[in-house]
Structure 1
Amino acid sequence: MFITGDHSIGRSDQRAGAVTHRGISVGDGAWIGAGVIVLPGIRIGSGCIIGAGAVVTADCLPDGVYAGIPARKLRDLKPSAR
């Protein structure tokens, strides 16, 4: 699930404040597992693997394995010859 919209906390009479939208970028060759949630403005680097069910709250560097809630880097992968 790619979530690109967000809103600020508004006044007590209208808690959902101003809406903002930020794109998500996914690099070439990235693998995003089932049920992953990616929050607004995130960049997932080329060759990344995002484990099933992860919640991605920060950018993911290229060629890394990320998993968990929030997603954390578990290990580096060998980059491909480009």
Structure 2
Amino acid sequence: MQQLEIFHIDSPCIGICQSGPRGYCLGCYRSREERLHWINLDDHVKSKIVKACALRKKRAFARKRSAETVIYEDPVQGDLLD
């Protein structure tokens, strides 16, 4: 049995409508199909998509952080008083 949604689920679109390298929108992290059919989906499916988008966003930021993290290895530094 589906749980009834009390509130209407609005589109997660934030107006940055560009596809990223994995095919998801860089603004809301929905796939092309999810964006295309959003208006026809019931609230139960919309809720699942919003949760999936949050997970996609979290993973994208984690990938970005790990790519930006540069491990700096300090060369062996001699004593300043030698």
TM-score (norm 2): 0.25
Give the number of the structure whose residues are more often helix, by fraction: 2
TM-score (norm 1): 0.25
Give the number of the structure whose residues are more often strand, by fraction: 1
Q: Which has the larger radius of gyration?
A: 2
